[in-house]
Structure 1
Amino acid sequence: MHLRDLPHPDPGVPDVRTGGAFLRWLYRQQLGGQLKALAWGLVNVGAIAASPLPVGLAVQAVVDRDGGRLLLAGGLILALGVLIALGDTMLHRAAVTNWITAVARMQQLLARKTTELGSAMTRRVAAGEIVTVSTGDLEKIGWFVEALSRFGAAALITVGVSIALAVYQPELGILVALGVPVLALAVLPLLPPATRRADAQREKAGQATELASDTVAGLRVLRGIGGEELFLGRYRNASQEVRKAAVRSARMWSLISAVQVLLPGLLLIAVVWYGARLALDGTIAVGDLVTIYSAVAFLLSPLRRFEEIAQAYSFAKPSAKRTAHVLAQHRPAGGRTGDQGTTPAGALHDPVSGLTAPAGRLTAVVCGDPDAAGRLAERLGGHPAQADEDGGDGVDLSVVLGGTPLDDLPRDTARRAVLVQDKDPMLLSGTLGELLDVPGSGRVDATDALAAAQCGDVLTALAQASAEDSGDPMRTYITERGRSLSGGQRQRLALARSLVTDPEVLVLDEPTSAVDAHTEARIADGLRTVRTGRTTVVLTSSPLLLDRAEQVVFLQEGKVVAAATHRELLHSHPAYRAVVTRETDPEPALSTGQTEETA
């Protein structure tokens, strides 16, 4: 594959059972590129391996004063030099192409997986691990992929040279043929501890990365409580742990490198000593001794490839394991229904909790446990829970919309049908106009959505900071994650974006937790107006939102225990009243006047 053909039309379906299985699958996907690199590697290394022959021929020609053979030797050296240069250039091109295409394939797989899982990705895999996989791990796997072709060529030529020496000069060739496997395998006992140290270094590096990511994300909060120095101190300590682990790992790899230099050097000394004695005895010619010496010296280079591939594999295997773990996360692919264009309509039912949200109505859900609310929102978005977590038989339980399981729908259709906005929505960098330029039904325009989300003050602030003082808030640039805005402003803009999308079912997880009570009341009214005729599920414990819902469902321990209006539940359900009013004792009943005031 050529680099101009990237990205891959289809990155394929990876084998993610183990890290080794993933590496083998990746190798098969670019078998043609690997064979091409191997062929050029054989040209390059083979030409280098053949160089001692004309060198020995030239030396013997000088000894015998044979000008014809000397000229022939010079021609052979020149031809081999051309082959070495050509092979090295093309090997480098082919190997780097394999590296880049492999990394591009993995990046596409990760992007596809992120698109498939959405916000559920960070609930299943730590953010630090995702960062580590998408940066350092891909580079390490790419290094292993690139080194494979060089190692394959070096291994084949090493075997060929050893056999050729044994045939050419049995007295010395057998010594070399026996010594080379010993040299190649001598470092094997050192690889397990080196791999363990490398794993420890990567684990500490991942922890430091995750700590840094959390610190940056919570910098505003840390400044508010004066905790910057505390967390910076923790990051310094984590960085020192990474440095110490890296030094321990480097020491082991330095020892392996030293062994790879020492043992071949000892073999070379033994060959020269024994060969010199044979030459003095007249058993072999001087040219033969030079040829064998040059061949043994050549073998030092291929043996370095054994060290390189061992090191590359020790780094790539845990990286491949982490990558496979991320890619193994899934929601059912769906697509069992044939109609790609029809979006189902009807009630939304969650079989795990027993929640049913009637079609076309505003349903509020109260969960005593915030984590249970997050899991419910994830399920409603089409990411089913395992039944064995709820006492079942281990079968995926899918949310049903209008009688059709979301798993049975093509992914695009399911996403058009149900949209989930979690409690910490992401605002991508760009202008406000770009933020609101999202696929939608066209029923709700940006103006109506912004008005319903009570974004008037946000628009005023953005207009003052608009590009080129145009006064157009839609042209104002919003920084990454909306850091230039307050929490309430980010929350309202995210709600406006969700309203523009206008899905058949909109699930909102605590959409007004960062706004004041007056704004919250107006948002609740705007939400009912804009979502008229659409199914809306709001996970909240705010009395202002609950009072405007057409139905309130109360969950305890992840199961529905009551469903009625807000005021009816306040009167009839003490546990519900305790959650909504934050009472410490749920037993005493409220008077009508108290209920009205709370509502």
Structure 2
Amino acid sequence: MRSFPYKNAGKPDLRSPGRYLLWLAGAQRGTLLVAVLYGCIWTLCQALTPFVLGQAIDQGILPGDFARLASWVGLLVGLTVVQSISATLRHRASVSNWLQAAYRSAQTVGHKVTRSGDALPQKFSTGEVVSTTASDAMRIGEIYDVAARLAGSVAGYLLVTYLVFQSSWQLGLVVLFGVPLCGAGMLFVIKPLQRRQKEQREAAGKMTALGADTVAGLRVLRGIGGEHIFVERYRERSRATQLAGNKVAWSLADLNAAQVLVVGVFSVAFTWIGALQAVSGQIEPGQLVALYGYAVFLVSPIRTAADAVSRFIRAHVGARRIIDVLATPSAVHDAETTVPGPAAPSALVDSVSGVVVAPGGLCAVVSADPAQSADLARRLGRFEDAVLREAEVRWGGEVLHLMPLREVRSRIVVSDAEPQLFTGSLREELDPAGRRSDAEIMAAIDVASAHDVFDGLENGLDDEVTEKGRSFSGGQRQRLTLARAVLTEAEVLVLIEPTSAVDAHTEARIAAALRRERGTPGKTTVMVTASPLLLGAMDTVAFLKDGKLQAQGTHRELLDTVPEYRKVVIRGEGMDGHGGTTAAAAVGANATNGVGHLESNGGEA
């Protein structure tokens, strides 16, 4: 029984497609050598069969020697049995090599995706990455499938050349030079095939990317009546991919025709020369039969070589695409890890904005430009090390990006504004590590006020979540994502607009529940939001202007003292001529009081 996933084979060689393919070969050298061994045994048995048959004719049938005939027939039967067994084992090992190379490539790309942060989404679309793992990885595997047959064909070709030389040096030269020349003659067809396969791969990648993006945004497209526009775009991409595929098919047809022509001309010429030598008495009748068998056998090495070149071209194109993904510099890494994380809950200090997040309690970040507060949250979560080298964040007095990434990820959790759900059971979705009990999961559901999600689920937590959670509304997906974040019980939890898609009553319940759940020593919560309901539940609020800390205090204090803050939060100036708070500001105050009112009534709106 083989365990999966495969063990880490080390850092892949990304200097060129050829070097990457060699790296894959080294990672599976054991099964690759076994496949080559069985491939050679299998092909050598085929190459020896005409020789044994010719000897049986010359030494057994023609002289009437039954004993000699029986011994050669026995040897022929033995070759057949060995050939059958080795063919089965060769095929098994070859398929294993194919799948190993394909899945190791997919696994390597998967690891890259999970460790690259935002680097890959900024360079490639989701469809392009999916196409790389689903299509290119399988094409790479094909070359390791054909490797055993190619090695066996070379061994068989050399053996047949030697055996033919024993019968006729002229025919031996024909085999020695004719077979390589036949293979070289097909290079004129293979070169256009390589170019057309590259074009077809690029067209297919663009079509997959467009299809993935269209499916992801289908709900929005239907809402604005834009389906027909993207359908037409997909048709155009599909048509371009089809035309590129047709060109590839033309080149493949030319290659197959060239194989038939070249192999046919070689076989006819080889057999004709042998027949002339048999008529002139230079070779025996049995040797002529063997020569005809060699001619039939040599068809296989020529075709295998052409097939191997065709597969190598596809693998080369696929390896180039995979290298493009793997060579993308990761946004975060552990290469410069030099300091451990703080032993106890500590303050987070952002040098760019000047914000200091004290350990414990709830802190909100508000900015007139939401992108600036979101950037702060991403710095606190260590999403891009390159940014942190210039905009340093300290945690407990030490530089955040110099700490072990695994420790940072386990202690600081960022829940983004765009909720992402994956296929699987709801229980696995909320608790991927499987460490929480159902009671704990339901408690987190209660914090996120997401009980309505179960109204449409027949199996509760065991119900299957569809791809990207499309069966849920936007507000339900957002609350499920919040419940998942709460379940991590992270030391520092950073929430970016966690309630932007829910109504005011639900938002008030969430604010009260978050305060109960996260407002304890040892748990720090940073929330990027401009919602008065959430801000009223915070211990402190940091207000940013032009990315810099302008004021910090409670929500009520900032409403009374910072006009720009009040303008952002309640969408109005809110100041009378005497500096007093008008009705607009009172809205924020009432919203703040509303949290306590809802909480005291059991969270019911």
| TM-score where L is the length of structure 2 | 0.83
**Hey, what's the Cα distance between the residues in 2 that align with 1:478 and 1:145?**
37
- 1:395-433 residue CA offsets vs partner (Å, 9 max, x unmatched): 687743223344444443222211011112223455555
**Hey, what's the Cα distance between the residues in 1 that align with 2:264 and 2:406?**
63
Residue 37 of structure 1 deviates from its aligned partner by 0.7
What letter corresponds to residue 450 of structure 1 in structure 2? I
Q: Secondary structure at the match of 1:513?
A: coil
Match of 1:484 in 2: 471
Does residue 450 (structure 1) correspond to residue 451 (structure 2)? The answer is no
Q: 1:589 to 1:268 in 2, by over 3 A?
A: farther
Match of 2:13 in 1: 15
Match of 1:243 in 2: 242
Q: Secondary structure at the match of 1:386?
A: helix
Q: 1:596 aligns with which of 577, 581, 585?
A: 585
Residue 265 of structure 1 deviates from its aligned partner by 1.4
Match of 1:426 in 2: 420
Match of 1:560 in 2: 548
Match of 2:526 in 1: 537
Q: 1:579 to 1:125 in 2, by over 3 A?
A: farther
- Kept in 1, the 8 Å contact 2:336–2:402? The answer is yes
Q: Secondary structure at the match of 2:582?
A: helix
**Hey, what's the Cα distance between the residues in 2 that align with 1:4 and 1:134?**
22
Match of 1:357 in 2: 357
- Kept in 2, the 8 Å contact 1:57–1:69? The answer is no
433-442 or 423-432, which deviates more: 433-442
State how 1:239-388 maps to structure 2 within 5 Å: 239-329=238-328, 330=330, 331-333=332-334, 336=337, 345-350=345-350, 355-366=355-366, 376-386=376-386
What letter corresponds to residue 552 of structure 1 in structure 2? A
**Hey, what's the Cα distance between the residues in 2 that align with 1:396 and 1:315?**
42
- 1:356-400 residue CA offsets vs partner (Å, 9 max, x unmatched): 43333534334666666665544433332435xx9xxxx687743
Does residue 403 (structure 1) correspond to residue 397 (structure 2)? The answer is yes
Q: 2:451 aligns with which of 459, 465, 479?
A: 459
Q: 2:45 aligns with which of 47, 53, 64?
A: 47
Q: Secondary structure at the match of 2:413?
A: strand
Match of 2:490 in 1: 503
**Hey, what's the Cα distance between the residues in 2 that align with 1:396 and 1:27?**
41
**Hey, what's the Cα distance between the residues in 2 that align with 1:500 and 1:542?**
23
Q: 1:384 to 1:68 in 2, by over 3 A?
A: same
Q: Secondary structure at the match of 1:317?
A: helix
* Pairs aligned (count): 575
| TM-score where L is the length of structure 1 | 0.84
- Kept in 2, the 8 Å contact 1:384–1:396? The answer is no
Give aligned-pair identity as a percent: 36
322-331 or 509-518, which deviates more: 322-331
Match of 1:470 in 2: none
- 1:240-259 residue CA offsets vs partner (Å, 9 max, x unmatched): 22222111111112212221
Residue 48 of structure 1 deviates from its aligned partner by 0.7
Unmatched 5+ stretches in structure 2: 589-605
- Kept in 1, the 8 Å contact 2:362–2:515? The answer is yes
Q: 1:430 to 1:171 in 2, by over 3 A?
A: closer
Q: 1:241 to 1:124 in 2, by over 3 A?
A: closer
Q: Secondary structure at the match of 1:173?
A: helix
Does residue 77 (structure 1) correspond to residue 65 (structure 2)? The answer is no
Q: 1:552 to 1:407 in 2, by over 3 A?
A: closer
Match of 2:601 in 1: none
Residue 30 of structure 1 deviates from its aligned partner by 1.0
Q: Secondary structure at the match of 1:240?
A: helix
State how 1:155-304 maps to structure 2 within 5 Å: 155-304=154-303
- 1:231-279 residue CA offsets vs partner (Å, 9 max, x unmatched): 2332233222222211111111221222122112112222223233333
Residue 53 of structure 1 deviates from its aligned partner by 0.8
535-544 or 248-257, which deviates more: 535-544
**Hey, what's the Cα distance between the residues in 1 that align with 2:253 and 2:560?**
71
Residue 8 of structure 1 deviates from its aligned partner by 2.8
Unmatched 5+ stretches in structure 1: 468-472
Q: 1:416 aligns with which of 410, 432, 442?
A: 410
- RMSD, matched Cα: 3.6
